[in-house]
Amino acid sequence: MSPEYVRPYVKAQKNDDRDSEAIAEAATRPTMRFVELKSEEQLDMQILHRARDRLVTERTALANQIRAILLERGITIPQGRQKLESELPKVLEAHGLMLSDRIRTLLQELNEELQTLTRRITSFDKEFETFSKSNDACRRLSTIPGIGALNATAFVAAIDNAQTFGRGRDLAAWLGLVPRQMTTGGKPKLLGISKRGNSYLRRMLIHGARAAMPHIARLDTATGAWLRRLLAWANPNVVVVALAAKMARVIWAVLQRRTTYQQAAP
Q: Write the pLDDT tens digit of every residue in 134-191.
A: 999 999 999 999 999 999 999 999 988 888 888 889 899 989 998 888 888 888 888 8
Give the model's pLDDT for residue 13. Answer: 84
pTM of the model: 0.86
CB 205 within 8 A of CB 58: no
**Tens digits of per-residue pLDDT, 204-245?**
999 999 999 999 999 888 899 999 999 999 999 999 999 999
Within a domain: 172: yes
CB 26 within 8 A of CB 9: yes
In this structure, are 154 and 213 located in the same domain?
yes
In this structure, are 171 and 230 located in the same domain?
yes
pLDDT at position 95 over 80: no
Domain's final residue, options 134, 169, 188: 134
Work out the number of other CB atoms within 10 angstroms of the CB of residue 255. Answer: 22
- 66: buried, middle or exposed (CB in 10 Å: 19+, 13-18, 0-12)? buried
pLDDT at position 96 over 70: no
Rounded to an integer, the average pLDDT of 44-69 is 95
What is the three-class DSSP state of 181? strand
pLDDT at position 132 over 90: yes
In this structure, are 159 and 246 located in the same domain?
yes
In this structure, are 159 and 226 located in the same domain?
yes
In this structure, are 170 and 253 located in the same domain?
yes
Q: Which domain holds residue 45?
A: 40-134
Give the model's pLDDT for residue 179. Answer: 86
